[in-house]
Amino acid sequence: MIKLLTAEERYGPALKKAREDFQRENPYKMAFCSDATYRQLTEDSGVFEVPFWEKNCQVRYPEGTVQDLAGEELPIITQILILHYLVQADGTPMANRWISFRELPGGLGYNSAFQGRADHRLAKAFGRDLEGFLRAARALKGERITYGDAGFLFRVFPRLWMAAVLYLADEEFGASASVLFDGAAEHYLPTEDLAVLGGILASGLIKEARGK
């Protein structure tokens, strides 16, 4: 019998490394470059407040523990993403233009897998269900943009935005969808993490549409 690994077993080493990288960085530099808030508590400790999908999260420095405002520990994947964002952020201004996953560093080689994780799932779920897409996107605090038959912007982090764009099926063409990233996204997360975010966005939209 194959033993399925828990999230902690699968991602524990990545979280450990993310915390180690976080501890080596200057907290004020991370706050400035990421547009997060840092409050010093003692001479060598403090706490960050980082908006993640418009919900504020707390990150203790130097421990690297990530919690919601009620003090509950967040899922391990969310912890890794937030720590990576703080560490990788270099303060580059947002590009205010959308790019596809394949345009990210190394994205072309992983684009087929990303399509299956994000774009194709959205097209299958919403290709003939515009109202469902609209409801789901609004439930996730999406902001309408003028792309496709329907498009929404999502402020994942202060300086890392994503978009989901739907093209409905018609008599000639099948449905399609695209998850897009601000052109400066590579300055705030590695491509592997952006792929994870694409999957999270697709799953969140589909879950909302199903009312679960």
Q: Is pLDDT at 15 greater than 80 in this prediction?
A: yes
Strand, coil or helix: what is 178?
Answer: strand
Nearest to 98 by CA among 41, 10, 9, 161: 161
Strand, coil or helix: what is 180?
Answer: strand
pLDDT digits (tens, 9 = 90+) for 84-131: 999 999 999 999 999 999 999 999 999 999 999 999 999 999 999 999
What Å distances lie between residue 66 and 93, 166, 174, 176, 179, CA to CA? 26, 33, 42, 36, 27
pLDDT mean over 147-162: 97
**pTM score > 0.75 for this model?**
yes
Residue type, 17: K
Q: Is pLDDT at 3 greater than 80 in this prediction?
A: no
CB atoms within 10 A of CB 8: 9
pLDDT mean over 49-61: 95
pLDDT mean over 24-39: 98
pLDDT digits (tens, 9 = 90+) for 59-95: 999 999 999 999 999 999 999 999 999 999 999 999 9
Q: Is pLDDT at 5 greater than 80 in this prediction?
A: no
Structure-token pair, residue 89: 């952020």
Domains and CATH numbers, the chain: 7-88 (no CATH), 98-209 (3.30.310)
H/E/C letters for each residue in 62-120?
Answer: CCCCEEECCCCECCHHHHHHHHHHHHHCCCCCCCCCEECHHHCCCHHHHHHHHHHHHHH
Question: What letter does residue 47 receive in the DSSP assignment?
Answer: E
Question: What was the pLDDT predicted at 1?
Answer: 58
